């Protein structure tokens, strides 16, 4: 949320003397049609976020007055907009190692490491998966955001595992459609605190921004908060039990921010290492009673293990699995050695 606000507050550079201005007359009232959506429909090459930035900086007026992105357009409205100069569209290539799981002429599947975000918020930001892809691949899809070349979907900064990226625009939008329609299946593996009683279940509870801590999300089931939350559905299945811990398979039926972390914490089994949502730190000493007391992971023990999808061009069913990263692998090894049930 904070990251999105930073983008909205960053104004477009506009050459007032030479800028192109457009003038639109709304022919009829469009019930429920917000101004930003209306303009995005007319100028699809501009993202809704870009249009919201223009509205916020006063580069869009309705009947000569500045307004908000949420304004509902009416028949007879005169909408005027200053078209922005193109922003730099080049993401700086960086020689950041990538673990390639699968590659062909259309897609690349990687095993994402922890501690790296998926794409920059602006051209000057570096050290992201997008920067690494720009260095590695001679061709990447453009998508709707110049700072996300090849990026079809995202993983949290510290979530590891399989991530699909696109080389061509056709592969990009066809993959994006599978994510949107939930026709592909993503399976995560997580180590949670506690021995889960049930072998599996479905968690269907809405999630929204935490009312106090803005960096967090929370389950919201009270009547007065349900309107600011979005439905979130997670399916879990126990993969392996240990004394005091459980390795669990998780599937997303919706894609809310921090959904798996919030849901597992909500049912009383927070993900190990996830301090933001109550997950305990875990070390070799914690598990075995000896050895180092330094935490094995400085982040949540959550790994995007497998994606089942349809190849965007050949339409053949595909499965890509990501082996555990080294720290997650060591955690599982220690649990199996010292805490097997």
Residues with catalytic roles: 156
Which long-range contacts does 58-63 make (Cβ < 8 Å, 24+ apart)? 59/12, 59/14, 59/84, 60/35, 62/35
With H, G, I as helix, E, B as strand and everything else as coil, classify residue 36.
Answer: helix
How far is 25 from 78, CA to CA, in rounded Å?
5
Q: Give the dihedral of Cα atoms 103, 106, 112, 118; nearest 10 deg.
A: 160
How far is 136 from 149, CA to CA, in rounded Å?
12
Q: Degrees (nearest 5) of the Cα angle 336, 100, 331?
A: 15
β-pair type (302-310, 160-166) = parallel
Q: Are 94 and 126 in contact (CB under 8 A)?
A: yes
> What end-to-end distance do the CA atoms of the chain give, in Å?
41
């Amino acid at each position: 949320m904070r990251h999105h606000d930073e983008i909205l507050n960053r104004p477009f550079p506009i050459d007032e003397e030479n800028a192109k201005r457009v003038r639109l007359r709304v022919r009829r009232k469009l019930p429920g049609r917000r101004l930003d959506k209306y303009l995005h429909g007319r100028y699809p090459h501009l993202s809704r976020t870009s249009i919201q930035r223009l509205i916020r900086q006063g580069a869009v007026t309705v009947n000569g007055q500045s307004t908000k992105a949420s304004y509902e357009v009416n028949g007879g409205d005169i909408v005027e907009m200053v078209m922005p100069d193109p922003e730099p569209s080049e993401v700086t290539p960086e020689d950041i190692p990538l673990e390639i799981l699968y590659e062909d002429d259309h897609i690349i599947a990687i095993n994402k490491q922890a501690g790296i975000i998926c794409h920059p918020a602006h051209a000057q930001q570096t050290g992201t998966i997008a920067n690494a892809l720009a260095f590695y691949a001679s061709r990447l899809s453009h998508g709707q955001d110049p700072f996300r070349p090849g990026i079809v979907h995202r993983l949290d900064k510290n979530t590891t595992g399989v991530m699909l990226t696109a080389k061509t625009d056709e592969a990009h939008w066809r993959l994006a459609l599978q994510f949107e329609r939930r026709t592909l299946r993503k399976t995560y593996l997580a180590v949670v605190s506690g021995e889960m009683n049930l072998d599996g279940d479905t968690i269907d509870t809405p999630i929204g921004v935490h009312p106090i801590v803005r960096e967090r999300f929370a389950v919201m089931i009270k009547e007065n908060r349900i309107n600011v939350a979005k439905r979130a559905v997670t399916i879990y299945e126990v993969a392996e039990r240990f004394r005091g811990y459980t390795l669990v398979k998780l599937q997303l039926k919706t894609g809310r921010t921090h959904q798996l972390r919030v849901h597992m914490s909500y049912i009383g089994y927070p993900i190990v290492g996830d301090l933001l949502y109550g997950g305990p730190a875990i070390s070799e000493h914690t598990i075995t009673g000896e050895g180092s007391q330094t935490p094995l992971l400085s982040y949540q023990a959550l790994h995007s293990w497998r994606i089942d999808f349809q190849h965007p061009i050949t339409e053949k069913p595909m499965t890509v699995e990501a082996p555990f990263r080294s720290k997650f692998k060591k955690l599982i090894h220690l649990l199996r050695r010292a805490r097997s049930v």
